[in-house]
């Protein structure tokens, strides 16, 4: 389905310069734009390329707005204060029309004691156990396995081969990519001092992902040992991320690929974490701190500093880390 | 099902102070305890909180035992030398009663030339190929795929979507979490010096996991190239751990999340390895060494020192590593 | 099936010393060789062990060739310039005879609008959506999920539980190990400066893996955001590797386990990358560079130097890195 420029302008609260009846069918990059496509520009240097492309219309900030007595613009423009954001919203608006028709594939194995909203979509070979609840318009990808007592809110999207251990709870608009495991046992053992052998500490708590959380592919998030692991509203995790038991992650946090968060760590709101970062157990990352890729936070440390970048293992403010590196390089050269 | 305090005291070899007929239905944390719950205390500071909780009984060490002429204790106590261990065992004892009734889901696809003990549980959509053998009381999670010639012992638990490549062998009481891949091809190629192209070196060996091994979610363990990869009794691996071909891991080793062990490495008994550690090919970690998180062991190195913590890349004793860091910080400050 | 030494000699362009009619059934290591096995030697020190083994024949380089008036050799020899390579090719030649008979398991769910070559093998519980195309002799492992518009060439091998997001393209002879996710959404969001919340940037591009690419188990490769992610001919990725959106990887690259490549990075031909390496966004690794395990390349850096090894975070030439380490150790000792 397509949207007219008038519809897009209204949806995006953007100012339209051009024919409001033109139809947009997709978003695209400038390089691969075809007729019917919408592109965006957030840098004046790219405007002429966008104008020369085959795109039907361009989202751009003020600088692109036609002058009072404009030369005839070659393309319709949607003027938006945050053009990248407007482009993202335009894409979502166009995609809305592509929602699957609700259906339950006949191969799905659904326990009679599950409660599915009539508008859900259940793909092939899904297994749904007893007391599972799934809210309106949620989509469960092929081959996913939902254990007993799982709760999924509305408008969630699970891609194929996702596993939810028993008792896992997803609130609304949660997206889980393929192969991700939610609610697995934490890594907790007790060593018998008499024999030196490890015995399993109970891992019987639960996992809660709040509204608008997205988790990439093949990640793993453990449930609480006795109580809960919780990831709060709006937080985004990349692929192959590990989150241990009893971890608490705040709102609007982003965590890049292959980062690991050990048991009982606390990550507060709006923290930004690069790839391959290691956060040891019982660490606290306070609100708004930024951890550079591959940095490491030793056990029980507190990282504090809204907007400050930390780097290295053990992590220190990047200014100090870079000074340490420069000092070492200088001494090494002199030796 | 529940257990009486008398049954628990006997099972745990603990000394009971209180009514032996009281029923315990679950373990819990002190914070979330409800009537019927058993909690534990291993620090005198937490005893009063535990006593004030809704828990029915408390596992605690000697310090909590009532004095000879005790004031009337507010709760029954189970006195144990290792309270955390006793608590773990109590949880396992209570969970015993929750074993699934043996059954084979009708959707499971089982080759006629497989040998399944009559007491196994096979969940939905499991695929079992020819010559697979599964021992008493083992449970195979939904959607798992067992290749030809796989052998699984007794009391094993595979969670959903586990893959066992052909010829993989699990001994008894092995636990494999969801999404883990066992017996995949090692990363071995031969470069043709004439063309510069890589060709696959045969990866046709096998993988053996001995008794009481547990592997977390989405981990990968490669089979031997020509011979075997082996993980010995009682060793525990966390989520997203990688073990390469021909690796040998000893008994009672623990390896935290996202650690990688390259081909032909040897890890001896009772080694402790933190998260995101990198162990290169042909390394030997001798018995009882401890590798801090994110440390790295270069190719062919030997790490020796029972109870000594190593840290950094390349890893050195933590004392030296911390001294190196302090030296650098001092010089950097002075510069 | 087996091959005669004559057939092997011809296939490998090797010089045969011994009975051409002897049958070889398998390759093996010297240590576990049995009658019918072929082994290889590339180091003169191992020749006597190989001769004493139960192997039926040995691949070896020139040094093993019998002298003009030889003492009677104890075993047939296949003399090859690159014995390890010849051994790998012999293994592949022997395995050719073990290809599965083409078949489609009755449990597979195949959209009528998919185009499958009559010689494909589709294992149990595979889900194939509309407009999927699969070429001659390709094998799709049990429980794999192929989204709409996926294209797979000839002689590809997908192991169990592989997920291909819509529009993913594999050329010929591509091997994908179990649990790997291809074409997932990249990690791209736009932060609304007014609310501080993240909104999803469109992730609607595609992923192309060219001929002879192999990807290990539980890896993840994201499709392009708007355009494409591409991995070129002959490149090999190990287990648990992450490749972000819009990445371009050249020909004959090898990337060891748990390495992560961030969005829009470019890795040129014949680069060699160790395990747990972190490559940030928009990095360029030029042809033939070598990155040591756990090294890290910060955002937008260019790494240049065919055959030069880089190590550390931030990565520098290994000579400098080792000098830096030595300098620090010396200063630390002196302090």
Which pLDDT score is estimated for C222?
98
Of the candidates A127, A185, A260, the beta carbon closest to that of B257 is on A260
**pLDDT digits 0-9 by tens, A151-173:** 999 999 999 999 999 999 999 99
Residues 6+ apart with CB under 8 A from B243: B219, B220, B221, B222, B229, B231, B237, B249, B260, B261
Contact: B239, A125; criterion CB under 8 Å: no
- pLDDT above 90: residue B294: yes
Identify the pLDDT of residue C73: 60
Q: Which of A89, A123, A331 sits opposite C331 (nearest CB)?
A: A331
Q: Please tell me the predicted confidence (pLDDT) of residue A141.
A: 98
Torsion of CA B299, B300, B305, B306, to 10 degrees: 90
The pLDDT-based confidence of C148 (bands split at 50, 70, 90) is very high
Residue contact A161–C184, C-beta within 8 A: no
For residue B70, the model assigns a pLDDT of 54
Residues C168 and C207: beta-carbon distance below 8 Å: yes
Place of tokens 């708590």: A205
CA distance A139 to chain B (A): 19
- pLDDT above 70 coverage of chain C, percent: 97
Mutate to test the interface with B, among A198, A204, A208, A317 (most CBs of B within 10 A): A198
Q: What is the pLDDT of residues B181-240, one digit of tens each?
A: 999 999 999 999 999 999 999 999 999 999 999 999 999 999 999 999 999 999 999 999
Backbone φ/ψ region at B323: left (φ over 0), alpha (ψ -120 to 50), beta: alpha
For residue range C42-99, what is the model confidence (pLDDT) as tens digits?
999 999 999 999 999 999 998 888 765 555 567 999 999 999 999 999 999 999 867 7
Give the pLDDT mean for A71-92.
90
Structure confidence by residue, pLDDT tens digits, B30-43: 999 999 999 999 99
pLDDT given for residue C70 in this prediction: 54
Sign of CA dihedral C74, C76, C81, C86: negative
Q: What is the pLDDT of residues A175-224, one digit of tens each?
A: 999 999 999 999 999 999 999 999 999 999 999 999 999 999 999 999 99
Contact partners for chain A, using 3 or more CB pairs closer than 8 A, are: B, C
- A161/B252 Cβ within 8 A: no
Tell me the average pLDDT across B101-120. Answer: 97
- Within 10 angstroms of residue A102's Cβ, the number of other Cβ atoms is 16
Find the catalytic residue in B171, B177, B242, B245.
B245
Q: How confident is the model over A211-258, as pLDDT tens digits?
A: 999 999 999 999 999 999 999 999 999 999 999 999 999 999 999 999
User: Is pLDDT of B107 > 60?
Assistant: yes
pLDDT at B157 over 90: yes
Report the pLDDT value the prediction gives residue C69, as an integer from 0 to 100. Answer: 56
Provide the angle, in degrees to the nearest 10, between the axes of the packed helices A318-334 and B318-334.
Answer: 90
C272 to each of B2, B70, C285, how far by Cα in Å? 58, 71, 10
Interchain CB distance below 8 Å, C218 and A218: yes
The residue among B124, B145, B256, B335 with the most chain C CBs within 10 A of its CB, best to mutate, is B145
CB atoms within 10 A of CB A10: 13
Question: Would you place residue B97 in the very low, low, confident or very high pLDDT band (cuts 50, 70, 90)?
Answer: low
Chain C residue numbers touching B240 (CB-CB < 8 A): 218, 240
| Residue of chain A minimizing CA distance to C110 | A124
Contact in structure between C231 and C211 (CB atoms under 8 Å): no
Tens digits of residue pLDDT in C120-139: 999 999 999 999 999 999 99
Q: Is B245 a catalytic residue?
A: yes
Confidence at residue B242, expressed as pLDDT on a 0 to 100 scale? 98
Of A82, A143, A274, the CB nearest to C127: A143
User: What pLDDT shows up at residue B233?
Assistant: 98
Rounded CA-CA distance C194/C201 in Å is 17
Q: How far apart are CA A4 and CA A77, in angstroms?
A: 13
- The DSSP result for A198-258, as a single string, is EEEPP---EEEE-TT-EE-TT-EEEPPSSSEEEE-TT-EE-TT-EE-TT-EE-TT-EE-TT
Among B232-241, B242-251, C74-83, C284-293, name the one with the lowest average pLDDT. C74-83
Interchain CB distance below 8 Å, C226 and A332: no
- What pLDDT does B67 receive? 64
Cβ contact A218–C179 (<8 Å): yes
Whether residue A252 and residue C197 make contact (CB cut-off 8 A), yes or no, is: yes
- Residue A98 pLDDT more than 90? no
Structure tokens at C311: 């190590």
- Give the sign of the dihedral formed by CA B117, CA B120, CA B123, CA B124: positive
Q: Which residues pair with A175 in a beta bridge?
A: A157, A214
Task: Write the residue in C161, C236, C257 that is nearest to B163 by C-beta.
Answer: C161
A101-to-A93, A98, A137, A138, C18 alpha-carbon distances in Å? 17, 9, 9, 11, 69
**For chain A, how many helices (H) and strands (E)?**
4, 40
pLDDT value at C164 more than 70: yes
State yes or no: pLDDT of A20 exceeds 70: yes
Give DSSP secondary structure letters for A270-308.
Answer: T-EE-TT-EE-TT-EE-TT-EE-TT-EE-TT-EE--TT-
Tell me how far CA of residue C191 lies from CA of A208, B24, C184, C195, in angstroms.
Answer: 24, 50, 21, 8
Which one of A95, A257, A331 has the shortest CB-CB distance to C187? A257
**What's the pLDDT band for B65 if we cut at 50, 70, 90?**
confident
CB contact under 8 A, C109 and A124: yes
Tell me which chain A residues have a C-beta less than 8 angstroms from the C-beta of B335: 323, 327, 330
pLDDT confidence tier of residue A283, bands split at 50, 70 and 90: very high
Q: Both tokens of residue B259? A: 């650690």
Cα–Cα distance for residue pair C189/A91, rounded to 1 Å: 12
Q: Which of C181, C193, C278 sits opposite A275 (nearest CB)?
A: C278
Band (pLDDT 50/70/90 cuts) for residue C289 is very high
Task: Please check the confidence at residue C307 and state whether its pLDDT lies above 80.
Answer: yes
Q: C-alpha C204: how far from its chain's center?
A: 26
What pLDDT shows up at residue A70? 54
Q: Compute the mean pLDDT over every residue in chain C, rounded to the nearest whole number.
A: 95
- With a cut of 90, say whether residue C322 has pLDDT above it: yes
SS3 for A68-90 is CCCCCCCCCEEECCCHHHHHHHH
**Run of H or E residues at C103:** none
End-to-end CA distance of chain B: 68
Residue A72 binned pLDDT confidence (cut-offs 50, 70, 90): low
* pLDDT score of A56 more than 80: yes
Alpha carbons A102 and A136: distance in angstroms, whole number: 10
Nearest CA in chain C to B218: C218
β pairing state of A139-140 and A121-122: parallel
Choose from C104, C216, C306, C324 for mutation: most chain B CBs within 10 A: C216
C217 vs C227: CA distance, rounded Å: 26
Decide if C272 contacts B198 (C-beta within 8 A): no
Q: What does the mean pLDDT of chain A come to?
A: 95
Q: How far is CA C217 from the centre of its chain?
A: 10
Q: What local confidence, expressed as pLDDT, does residue A224 receive?
A: 98
pLDDT at residue C64, rounded to an integer: 83
Task: Find chain A residues with C-beta within 8 A of B29's C-beta.
Answer: 226-227
| Mutate: best of C111, C163, C219, partner A, most A CBs <10 A | C163
Per-residue pLDDT tens over the stretch B162-174: 999 999 999 999 9
Does B127 sit within 8 Å of C123, measured CB to CB?
A: yes
Contact B88 A222 (CB under 8 A): no
Residue A68 has pLDDT above 70, yes or no: no
Residues B139, B156: contact at Cβ < 8 Å?
yes
């Amino acid at each position: 389905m397509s949207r007219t420029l008038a519809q897009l302008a209204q949806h995006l609260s953007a100012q339209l310069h051009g024919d409001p009846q033109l139809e947009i069918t997709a978003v695209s990059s400038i390089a691969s734009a075809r007729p019917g496509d919408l592109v965006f520009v957030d840098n004046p240097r790219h405007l002429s390329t966008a104008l020369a492309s085959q795109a039907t219309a361009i989202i751009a900030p003020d600088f692109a707005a036609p002058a009072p007595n404009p030369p005839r613009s070659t393309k319709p423009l949607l003027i938006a204060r945050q053009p990248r954001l407007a482009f993202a919203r335009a894409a979502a608006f166009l995609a809305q029309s592509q929602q699957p028709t609700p259906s339950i594939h006949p191969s799905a194995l659904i326990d009679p004691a599950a409660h599915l909203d009539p508008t859900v979509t259940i793909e092939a070979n899904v297994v749904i156990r007893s007391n599972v609840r799934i809210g309106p318009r949620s989509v469960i990808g092929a081959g996913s396995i939902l254990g007993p007592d799982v709760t999924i809110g509305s408008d969630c999207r699970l891609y194929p081969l996702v596993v939810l251990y028993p008792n896992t709870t997803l609130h609304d608009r949660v997206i889980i990519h393929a192969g991700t495991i939610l609610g697995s046992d934490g890594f907790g053992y007790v060593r018998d001092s008499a024999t030196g052998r490890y015995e399993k500490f109970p891992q019987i708590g639960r996992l809660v992902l709040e509204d608008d959380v997205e988790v990439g592919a093949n990640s793993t998030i453990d449930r609480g040992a006795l109580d809960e692991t919780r990831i709060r509203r709006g937080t985004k995790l990349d692929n192959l991320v590990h989150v241990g038991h009893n971890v608490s992650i705040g709102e609007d946090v982003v965590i890049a690929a292959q980062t690991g968060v050990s048991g009982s760590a606390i990550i507060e709101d709006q923290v930004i974490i690069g790839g391959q970062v290691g956060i040891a157990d019982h660490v606290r990352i306070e609100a708004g701190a930024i951890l550079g890729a591959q940095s490491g936070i030793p056990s029980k440390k507190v990282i504090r500093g809204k907007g400050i970048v930390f780097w290295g293992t053990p992590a220190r403010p990047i200014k100090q880390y870079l000074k340490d590196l420069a000092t070492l390089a200088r001494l090494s050269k002199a030796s």
